[in-house]
Structure 1
């Protein structure tokens, strides 16, 4: 499933990576919007941290990575860092919501 573009120069590689980075950042912002909304539905900070959900997501993305020819270890590492950052943001959102009630 890996539809890799074959580049003929480092500039072409970088242009493709830059294009992907723009898409990733756009998708991170979209994901962040849903994470912010999720804080409204969670009653406790333990609900925000949701370690069982984290492991479900990790299992899912490792499988997806393998299916598309990606590296499951890299995917897991990136997702763990991303999830950690989103949990921190969601904890702050959760606290802000709690203090405004």
Structure 2
């Protein structure tokens, strides 16, 4: 078996899926499928769309969590810097009073 990267594998799967869909559309257009086979194919297409939608949602949630993590880190850095600045200001004011 050849070594392939994930991107290459994804491209191959995408090409396979498009080719399969194109051929299935031709078969449906020629009415070569029995009604139960057409219904089964439609159910399969619907299930595939649900899986793809779920995968997109999962991927977007991952991105959102990464973004949220970075935002929290940024907020914590800003708060820490503000606190350090405030503490230095208090120390300067206290040292001046001595």
Tell me the TM-score normalised to structure 1 length: 0.33
- Which structure has more relative contact order (CA 8 Å, sep 6+)? It is 1
Q: Which has the larger radius of gyration?
A: 2
The structure with the largest helix share of the pair is 2
